[in-house]
């Protein structure tokens, strides 16, 4: 079908007409998109089946458990990986159908929010592209996190109705559904062969799998992402049908429900157990159906826990091995510990999940019994290692002080614990998890994150892809390490001009989108200074916007002040319950209103906030960026992957020595990156000593004082909206060192602007050196390390 133009076009038209009972001439773009996508999915079905058949023959397989998978749109990506994009673009054009218009019809799959979910999606792509047996397990959220709408600068949250017309890439498999128990109690049955446990009076939820193909580059391997949706089970007597239906469907309705109250905590814990219970039972069923022996499970299956959300997979596997398959504790634990591996994604203590026992125990009674037993045995080992050190043992315990500590459970139940950047792993080993590292150093290792260049270069930036192919050949499309071949062209003036033309083209594309969405005209010749990522205080969007306000003040105060024109571009969602982050979004809009409407700064400073940041929007923003803002407080960002995407597209990093910025500096060299601010060890030293006197900076730096006063003097609003930000910087001692780093950031920004305006040759050379050094940050490299050093696949 896809090898013959005429056969494809006839089949396409016939299928469309039969599916919608409409003539081809009267069909809509949406109908054309669905028809094409269905044809592509059916085209890969035979290879999908063949891939699964290969895995039946004994390959060890890995299952990647994640609460998020931020996939983006799949039509274009699948066609690129299948090698069909350019062919179908031409064939459809003959039918007066622009392929890019069909791509725009597809909704972004609302299955994630930030870097955690995008990393999981990149990993699935790399597993399939490297022909490795690896699958994803997640939740099929009906409404995702939320759709962000801006109303007078305030974030409003609406449900993401991405499934309103169905989803062409999924296959519902009701016959493989499983029932997941909650509440109830545990019966203890004494028998000759030993004590048995049985869950009674439970409330069951049916987990229904929806499988999606994960197409590897070249189309040789099609792995599977299995997403579970929550539905009513026939196993639960329904006294109040509507209440049961509502509570059941809520489990797979939203990503990260608000957990500021007990009801929200219970729902989040339900979500997590729902995911792991359905997934582990599915994994075991598949393993046993292929003739596997349970005692050999860890030799044939690796299960990876992406952050703490799926950690309940550890006691769930223990429950199944103990209660359903009657293994002894020692046998079950031997298998479990060797099957699981855990990736930590944070140094922030509030992100290391802890569940109150008063909620955990009644919701998951049998799981709690198992967690308690794991804790008892783990603490016994600690006592043997550290006799008499009660404080250390309490600190390391899995269950203590009325809480279940999920990160501790992950460490105890896994054979591998890894950080996601060199600096992050060192902080884990030497600070956050130092006690565990001293106890079992052999478990700890680093796996610096990566991104799939097939999405973030080949798909997102076809203009740059074409230029690179013309210059260094197409080998980089399969192996990103070949981007290093570009390094000699840093001194080639003809190539540098072509590269600049590509960047200008991408900036024009984004400028058009900004005008269409925001009604703001931006100058493509200005510096596109971009910060797009989840909104959190430690990521310091606040530092960025305060610098913009200070820059505005300098221009207003001195009409002779010279600067390269700047377009500051933001995109971010704040968690619905995160008041402070939402107030920063409002501040960005208020500063934009002030700056964009002042004749004194017209053409010099423009501020844009692009609502509802998502993968498809990022694909337009990232190729257009000149400066990549990676300005988190040093020691707080685990890795960052946005920094890698920008680097690969020729943007220059403006950042602290935090997360993977440290390794980006190693790859580019100090002349090709803008580094400012405190180092990680300095931040940690201040944290240990109780912070610093932020008020000193307010009193001794007139620019800081003027800028902060504008938060509360009516310049930006007359309702006191930003008093909470003002107080956080001065009254609460500036937890994330915004004022401490402010002057260093301002000077570094000034230097970046000077180079852009006065030394274009140097800037273009920096672009080349960033692109040529970015290959090591391919997720292919990361997955090869996981496969060899952790999973043994």
Angle between helices 579-596 and 723-730 (to 10 degrees): 110
Q: What is the pLDDT of residue 713?
A: 95
465-476 pLDDT per residue, tens: 999 999 999 999
Residue 752 has pLDDT above 90, yes or no: yes
764 is catalytic: no
Q: Which residues of 527-552 are buried (b: 16+ CB within 10 A; e: fewer)?
A: bbbbbbbbbbbbbbbbbbbbbbbbbb
Q: What is the pLDDT of residue 717?
A: 86
Catalytic residue from among 539, 582, 589, 614: 539
349-364 pLDDT per residue, tens: 766 899 999 999 999 9
645 is catalytic: yes
Residue 80, by phi and psi: left (phi above 0), alpha (psi -120 to 50) or beta? alpha
Domain ranges of the chain: 58-73+108-414, 453-686+744-783
Could you check whether 58-73+108-414 and 453-686+744-783 share the same CATH topology? yes
Instruction: Give the residue from 73, 36, 123, 143 showing the smallest Cα distance to 617.
Output: 73
453 is catalytic: no
Distance (Å, rounded) from C-alpha 694 to C-alpha 352?
28
Answer for the pair 108, 612: CB distance below 8 angstroms, yes or no: no
Fold of 453-686+744-783: Rossmann fold (3.40.50)
Instruction: Give the residue from 570, 545, 563, 546 showing the smallest Cα distance to 601.
Output: 563
User: 198: helix, coil or strand?
Assistant: strand
- Residues contacting 560, CB < 8 A, separation 6+: none
Q: What is the pLDDT of residue 191?
A: 59
Q: Mean pLDDT across the chain, nearest whole number?
A: 96
Catalytic residue from among 226, 298, 424, 534: 534
CATH (residue range 58-73+108-414)? 3.40.50.2000
Q: What is the pLDDT of residue 50?
A: 95
Q: How far apart are the first and last CA of the chain?
A: 34
406-437 pLDDT per residue, tens: 999 999 999 999 999 999 999 999 999 999 99
Answer for the pair 639, 448: CB distance below 8 angstroms, yes or no: yes
298 is catalytic: no
Q: What is the pLDDT of residue 690?
A: 87
Distance (Å, rounded) from C-alpha 721 to C-alpha 709?
13
Catalytic residue from among 533, 566, 614, 765: 533
Lowest mean pLDDT among 62-71, 198-207, 260-269, 750-759: 198-207
In the DSSP assignment, the letter for residue 605 is: E
370-388 pLDDT per residue, tens: 999 999 999 999 999 999 9
pLDDT band at 193 (very low <50, low <70, confident <90, very high): low
Catalytic residue from among 286, 583, 645, 746: 645
Answer for the pair 114, 66: CB distance below 8 angstroms, yes or no: no
Catalytic residue from among 73, 270, 281, 345: 345
Residue 112 has pLDDT above 80, yes or no: yes
Structure tokens at 459: 């798909």
Q: What is the pLDDT of residue 236?
A: 77
Q: What is the pLDDT of residue 350?
A: 67
CA quadruple 742, 745, 750, 751: dihedral, nearest 10: 150
């Amino acid at each position: 079908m896809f090898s013959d133009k005429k056969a494809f076009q006839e089949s396409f038209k016939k299928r469309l007409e039969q599916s919608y009972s409409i003539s081809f001439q009267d069909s809509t773009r949406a109908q054309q998109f669905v028809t094409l996508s269905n044809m592509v999915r059916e085209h890969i079905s035979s290879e999908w089946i063949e891939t699964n058949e290969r895995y039946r023959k004994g390959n060890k397989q890995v299952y990647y458990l994640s609460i998020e998978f931020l996939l983006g749109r799949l039509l274009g990506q699948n066609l690129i990986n299948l090698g069909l994009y350019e062919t179908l673009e031409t064939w459809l054009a003959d039918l007066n159908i622009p392929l890019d218009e069909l791509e725009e019809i597809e909704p972004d799959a609302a299955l994630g929010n930030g870097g955690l979910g995008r990393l999981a999606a990149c990993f699935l792509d790399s597993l399939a592209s490297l022909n490795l047996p690896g699958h994803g397990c997640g939740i099929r959220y009906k409404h995702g996190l939320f759709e962000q709408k801006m109303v007078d600068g305030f974030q409003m949250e609406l449900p993401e109705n991405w499934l309103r017309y169905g989803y062409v890439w999924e296959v519902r498999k009701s016959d493989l559904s499983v029932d997941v128990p909650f509440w109830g109690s545990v019966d203890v049955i004494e028998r000759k062969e030993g004590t048995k446990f049985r869950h009674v009076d439970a409330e069951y939820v049916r987990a229904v799998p929806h499988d999606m193909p994960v197409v590897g580059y070249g189309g040789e391997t099609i792995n599977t992402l299995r997403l579970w949706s929550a539905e009513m089970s026939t196993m639960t007597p329904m006294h109040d049908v509507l209440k049961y239906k509502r509570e059941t469907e809520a489990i797979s309705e939203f990503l990260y429900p608000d957990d500021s109250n007990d009801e929200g905590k219970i729902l989040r814990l339900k979500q997590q157990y729902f995911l792991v219970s359905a997934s582990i039972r599915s994994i075991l069923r598949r393993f046993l159906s292929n003739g596997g022996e349970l005692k050999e499970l860890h030799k044939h299956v690796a299960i990876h826990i992406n952050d703490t959300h799926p950690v309940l997979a550890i006691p769930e596997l223990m429950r199944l091995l103990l209660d359903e398959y009657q293994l002894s504790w020692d046998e079950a634990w031997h298998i479990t510990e060797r099957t699981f591996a855990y990736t930590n994604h944070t140094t922030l203590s509030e992100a290391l999940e802890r569940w109150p026992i008063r909620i955990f125990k009644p919701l998951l009674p049998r799981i709690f019994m198992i967690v308690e037993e794991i804790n008892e045995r783990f603490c016994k080992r600690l006592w043997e290692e550290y006799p008499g050190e009660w404080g250390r043992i309490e600190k390391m315990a899995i269950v203590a002080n009325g809480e279940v500590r999920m990160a501790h459970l992950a460490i105890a139940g896994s054979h591998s614990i890894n950080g996601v950047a060199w600096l992050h792993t060192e902080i884990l080993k030497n600070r956050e998890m130092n006690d565990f590292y001293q106890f079992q150093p052999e478990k700890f290792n680093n796996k610096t994150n990566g991104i799939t260049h097939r999405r973030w270069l080949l798909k997102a930036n076809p203009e740059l892809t074409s230029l690179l192919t013309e210059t260094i050949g197409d080998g980089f499309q399969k192996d990103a390490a070949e981007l290093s071949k570009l390094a000699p062209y840093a001194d080639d003036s003809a190539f540098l001009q072509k590269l600049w033309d590509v960047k200008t083209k991408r900036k024009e594309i984004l400028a058009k989108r900004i005008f269409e969405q925001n009604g703001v005209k931006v100058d493509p010749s200005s510096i596109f200074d971009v910060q797009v990522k989840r909104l959190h205080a430690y990521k310091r969007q606040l530092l960025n916007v305060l610098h913009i306000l200070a820059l505005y003040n300098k221009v207003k105060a001195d009409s002779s002040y010279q600067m390269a024109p700047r377009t500051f571009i933001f995109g971010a969602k704040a968690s619905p319950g995160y008041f402070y982050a939402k107030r920063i979004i409002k501040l960005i809009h208020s500063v934009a209103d002030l700056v964009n409407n002042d004749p004194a700064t017209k053409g010099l400073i423009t501020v844009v906030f692009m609502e509802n940041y998502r993968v498809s929007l990022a694909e337009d923003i990232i190729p257009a960026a000149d400066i990549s803002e990676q300005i988190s407080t040093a020691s707080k960002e685990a890795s960052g992957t946005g920094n890698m995407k920008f680097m690969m597209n020729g943007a220059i990093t403006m950042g602290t020595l935090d997360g993977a910025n440290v390794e980006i500096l190693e790859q580019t060299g100090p002349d090709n990156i803008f580094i400012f601010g405190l180092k990680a060890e300095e931040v940690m030293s201040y944290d240990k000593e109780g912070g610093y006197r932020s008020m000193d900076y307010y009193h001794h730096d007139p620019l800081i004082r003027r800028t902060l006063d504008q938060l509360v003097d009516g310049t930006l609003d007359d309702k006191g909206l930003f008093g909470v930000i003002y107080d956080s910087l001065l009254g609460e001692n500036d937890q994330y060192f915004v004022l401490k780093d402010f002057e260093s950031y301002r000077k570094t920004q000034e230097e970046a602007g000077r180079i852009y305006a006065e030394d274009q040759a140097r800037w273009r050379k920096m672009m080349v050196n960033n692109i040529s050094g970015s290959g090591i940050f391919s997720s292919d490299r990361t997955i090869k390390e996981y496969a060899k050093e952790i999973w043994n696949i």
